[in-house]
Amino acid sequence: MTSNLLKGKRGIVFGALDEQSIAWHVAEKCVENGAQISLTNAPVAMRFGKIFDLGKKLNAEVIPADATVLEDLENLLKKSMESMGGKIDFILHSIGMSLNVRKGKNYTDLNYDFMQKTFDISSISFHKLMQTALKLDAVNEGGSILALTYIASQRVFPDYNEMAEAKSLLESFARSFGYHYGVSKKVRVNTISQSPTWTTAGSGVKGFKEFFDYADKMSPLGNASADACADYCVAMFSDLTRSVTMQNLYHDGGFSSMGMSPALIKID
């Protein structure tokens, strides 16, 4: 599904760790659709080296940035504008990590230092990114900023743990910053709420396979793939969606509108 929807646009894609990462698919699709991009990830994630292969393939500069560090974000935005020759048109925030989940902590026995780090990485980094971009006037009028989220922000999925609150905060930052960025610079800000997807972050959730299969059966269209998510991101970065802002957009095969599905219960 290739067009030239992003021709002439410059973008920054966070979070491409390996081929499974949703951001990896988004980066590929953006370039297929005519965009020029830079890639970024936390310096520790660079150790795997895969992002450099992607950078080579897409002719994209790879710029390390810990998304919780303001100086790194400033450097990333400046270097991206320099290397691509102008202001940025779109940004994908595809970052999530929970220390409590990683350490196997139960929701009723959380470590609060870990929790703060989780929120800083998974949510506050989005505000930091937008505040830095606004101060540098780094995004063109009509620009589009997206973050990826999950429905556990709005409904209870017990094993999603503190990431539920991290995603609620992320979605709220999109709405509130979307107001300010819209009024001052006509930049739009949205979140895409994606189906469970097999990636490093996704499969860190306890019982992920069962969770994935359940959502797949519950959704009339089945789970949305990372590839389909990338298409949706391209649409959201394009001018075709120029009046959409401050929204949490479900990309989940219909899951979020379901109450029960006959596919999941056996009636004799």
- Sites of contact with ligand NAD (CB under 6 A): 14-15, 17, 21-23, 41-42, 45, 66-68, 94-97, 121, 148-150, 194, 196-197, 199-202
Q: CB nearest ligand NAD: which residue?
A: 202
CB 268 to ligand NAD: min, Å: 34
Are the C-beta atoms of 203 and 17 separated by less than 8 Å?
A: no
For ligand NAD, give the closer residue by CB, 17 or 234. Answer: 17
Distance CA 17, CA 41 (A): 7
Residue 62's DSSP bridge partners are 39
CB 44 to ligand NAD: min, Å: 7
Does the CA dihedral 74-75-76-77 come out positive or negative? positive
For ligand NAD, give the closer residue by CB, 96 or 143. Answer: 96
CB 197 to ligand NAD: min, Å: 4
For ligand NAD, give the closer residue by CB, 34 or 77. Answer: 77
Distance linking the first and last C-alpha atoms of the chain:
43
Cβ–Cβ contacts within 10 Å for residue 39, how many?
24
For ligand NAD, give the closer residue by CB, 168 or 200. Answer: 200
* Strands, E assignment, the chain: 10-14, 36-40, 61-62, 88-93, 139-149, 188-194, 248-251
SS3 38: strand
Distance CA 141, CA 133 (A): 12
CB 139 to ligand NAD: min, Å: 19
Does the CA dihedral 235-45-102-122 come out positive or negative? negative
For ligand NAD, give the closer residue by CB, 140 or 225. Answer: 225
For ligand NAD, give the closer residue by CB, 31 or 101. Answer: 101
SS3 88: strand
CB 98 to ligand NAD: min, Å: 9
CB 181 to ligand NAD: min, Å: 20
| DSSP annotation of 87 | -
For ligand NAD, give the closer residue by CB, 113 or 243. Answer: 113
Starting at the earlier edge strand, list the strands of the sheet with 248-251. 61-62, 36-40, 10-14, 88-93, 139-149, 188-194, 248-251
Are the C-beta atoms of 90 and 9 separated by less than 8 Å?
A: yes
CB 248 to ligand NAD: min, Å: 12
CB 237 to ligand NAD: min, Å: 16
For ligand NAD, give the closer residue by CB, 149 or 238. Answer: 149
